A and B are shown apart, each in its own frame.
Chain A
Amino acid sequence: MPARPGSWGGAFTVQVFPPSTNTISRVSIFGAVFFAVGLLFVVYMIFRSPYITQVNVTVDQPVPFSHEHHITALGIDCRYCHTSVESSTFAGIPATETCMSCHSQIWVNSPMLEPVRKSMQTNEPIRWNRVHDLPDYAYFNHAVHVNKGVGCVSCHGRVDLMPLTWKAEPMTMEWCLGCHREPEKHLRPIEEVFNMTWTPPKDQLALGRELIKKQHIPVDRLTNCYVCHR
């Protein structure tokens, strides 16, 4: 049978797809692109978000220790408690004895300090919850940073203003490398390392470059793998 002019030859007497399919297919093409790109962007942002890096999130502690009170109100130097920060890779968490050097006389009946007293009695250390927990394949060295002029604030934020401790920086490798590539942006004079309120001068870059020379900081080698991942 010859095909009638204008007919669909019988095959298409009933259309398979209604006209609304036009809209659906157009939307699905554009939507798929935006959806895929959007999804990638969301995943990427999640990995940078405080949800993953836990920046600005306070961590519950057995004793609600306030850095703000002890530093700002009482004027205690960082090194009173974190004794090994200038000499050791690990800054150290103070032992119960350090707390009790004052709290055996002050606030002796405070229920807040009960875990400290109990620790003293039972000789069991307080289980503080770590806020800055680097993975064990990254070997961070506190002493070298402190001795080369990296202030506490540069990495830990204004701890003197923290009622409970939180992470001020993401501690990602990207963040570490940012400073290892351009330390001049963050360096300060050695004597200002433990100064919480030191603000960088207007010519920070000039100061930083001078400090790099003065402290013999090997900027060209600071991003080699072995520096951290030993």
Chain B
Amino acid sequence: MASDRPENLEQDEHLVLAPGHTYASVTDKISSIVLTSPFRKSWIFGFALSFLLTLMLLTTITAVLTQGVGLFGIRRPVMWGFDIVNFVWWIGIGHAGTLISAVLLLFRQEWRTSINRFAEAMTLFAVACAGLYPLMHMGRPWYFYWLTPYPNTMALWPQWRSPLVWDVFAVSTYASVSLLFWYVGLIPDLATFRDRSKNRFSKIIYGILAMGWRGSAIHWHRYRTAYLLLAGIATPLVVSVHTVVSLDFAAGVVPGWHTTIFPPYFVAGAIYSGFAMVLTLAIPLRRYYGLEDFITMKHLENMAKILLVTGLIVSYGYALEAFFAWYSGNTFEQFMMKNRATGPYWHTYALLILCNCLSVQVLWSKWARTCVPLLWVLSIVINIGMWLERYVIVVTSLARDYIPGAWGMYHGSVWDYSMYYGTIGLFFALLFLFIRVLPVISIAEMRELVAETRERNGGEDHGSSHDDDDQDLVASSG
């Protein structure tokens, strides 16, 4: 076997799981975060801070519900401001979670295993934040249910030609399918938690949530089928949801909005910002909870590569927008581009190009892709850049369009900012709760990865006894 050694060493940096792991060690490591470790100071601090921001969100919502939507900075002609910018931003962030869990599953990518769970959780919490905006940007949010088709005493139905009505269906379907997908994935892990919990209360809670999962062959067979089907459903959903969101703009006649490239370009942007957010979260997570064995450099590097690819697609989108503005020969389109680059909002456009197109170019180098602090900073830069993209699309197009007499400026008011930071607080509050009560990494799938790694190494294991291991598997999946 001596001849294998150099190869193995070479392989090490491509490992999606550090060597030496068994079913038991994987299960121990992941479940200990919830079941055995005490509250960490960093967790309490993080949760307290995000909860305070959540309170700010609730204050903002109360203020807007009682005082009116005019608290936001929206004024004619810019009637869509932060509300829509942040809606699209949050929805976009959510898309990476589904992409990781569904699309990478369909492509049978092993490296999705250790990031899919919290990426899906990220999706759910991002959709929860996003969902607030379409509600709160309405002048009369208490009539939101008029957007749903139900037989009412007014004999009225929603207008099916409006992308805003499609939004209702896209986002609510997306939220429910993502939740279902996430929950189905959680069931075997909840059973592990049920079996490993020491106290009766958490045994009951996890037991109810695990819905009697016993890990039988029939269970697993059906689970696999259901999971794969859900992945198959979620994949077109990801693409269509952000397409529908992009149609909010592309179906309009505003120069800068009426662009046929929006659907694929928005989806690419969503994946771009979503993966950036996954990196923003994964890097501290693996460090603070010692998950470097599971979220390896291979994961970070792969995500960096996806960032580069989607970043280039997004850059292509910007280039095409500019090209077609010129190529159209249309005064208004040409002015739109000129206004973005040199108008009153030029700095947002310049920063956008810097954050989204230029900064990502460092990822061509392997050194940059494996430099963790750099990746983390870059991921935040991209999150900011993608926020600016939506700001540029929404605000600069509206501020100066067809009639110069109707030009105006938009700046977010205090309430715009408090709502935005508030949703960030809500997102992190939910995320902290998730880290504390649910497995951040899919235990069942990690065990599968252990088995696959073992098989690949010809049944040889990195030093642990099979007996212990198998007994643990029996015990923990009941």
Footprint of B on A, CB under 8 Å?
A: 1-3, 8-12, 16-17, 25, 44, 47-48, 53, 170, 172-175, 177-178
Contact = CB atoms under 8 A, between A and B. Distances in A.
Contacts of A12: 195, 478
A42 B380 CA distance: 49
A177 B156 CA distance: 10
Contact of B476 (A2, A11, A47): A11
Interface string B195-233: 100001001100100011000000000000000000000
A174 B157 CA distance: 12
A173 B204 contact: no
Chain B, interface SS category: helix
Given A9-B474, A11-B475, A178-B155, 7 more contacts: A2-B467, A12-B195, A25-B212, A48-B153, A53-B153, A173-B153, A174-B152
Contacts of A177: 155
Contact of A9 (B152, B153, B211, B475): B475
Contacts of B153: 47-48, 53, 170, 172-175
B474 A173 contact: no
Most B CB contacts (10 A, CB to CB) among A9, A25, A48 go to A9
A210 B193 CA distance: 76
A17 B153 CA distance: 47
Nearest to A176: B155
B154 interface: yes
A174 B153 CA distance: 5
Interface in B154-209: 154-156, 194-195, 200, 203-204, 207
A174 B155 contact: yes
B146 to A, nearest CB: 12
Contacts of A11: 195, 475-476, 478
A154 to B, nearest CB: 18
A9 B207 contact: no
Contacts of B361: none
B471 interface: yes
Given A10-B475, A16-B207, A174 B195 contact: no
B154 A174 contact: yes
10 contacts: A2-B471, A8-B478, A11-B195, A11-B475, A11-B478, A47-B153, A170-B153, A172-B153, A173-B156, A174-B152
A1 B156 contact: no
7 shortest A-B CB distances, which residue pairs?
Answer: A172-B153, A174-B155, A9-B475, A173-B154, A11-B475, A177-B155, A16-B207
Contact of A16 (B154, B156, B194, B476): B194
Interface in B225-263: none
Contacts of A173: 153-156
A170 B258 CA distance: 45
A209 B153 CA distance: 27
Given A11-B195, A16-B194, A17-B207, A172 B475 contact: no
Contacts of B156: 173
Interface residues on B, range: 20 to 34
Interface of B: 151-156, 194-195, 200, 203-204, 207, 211-212, 467, 471, 474-476, 478
Contacts of A175: 153
A222 B82 CA distance: 40
Contacts of B204: 16-17
A61 B151 CA distance: 35
Given A173-B156, A177-B155, A1 B471 contact: yes
Contacts of B478: 8, 11-12
A16 B203 contact: yes
Contacts of A44: 151
Contacts of A178: 155
Nearest to B204: A16
Contacts of A10: 475
A175 B467 CA distance: 75
Nearest to A177: B155
Contacts of A25: 211-212
Nearest to B472: A9
Nearest to A40: B150
A48 B154 CA distance: 11
A47 B253 CA distance: 39
Contacts of A8: 475, 478
A217 to B, nearest CB: 19
Contacts of B195: 11-12
B275 to A, nearest CB: 37
Nearest to A10: B475
A11 B194 CA distance: 10
Contact of B471 (A3, A47, A48, A174): A3
B88 to A, nearest CB: 30
Contacts of B203: 16
A47 B156 CA distance: 15
A10 to B, nearest CB: 7
Contacts of B151: 44
Contacts of B200: 16
Nearest to A2: B467
A47 B153 CA distance: 8
B437 to A, nearest CB: 18
B208 to A, nearest CB: 8
A95 to B, nearest CB: 34
Nearest to A53: B153
A51 B153 CA distance: 14
A17 B210 CA distance: 12
Contacts of A170: 153
A174 B152 CA distance: 8
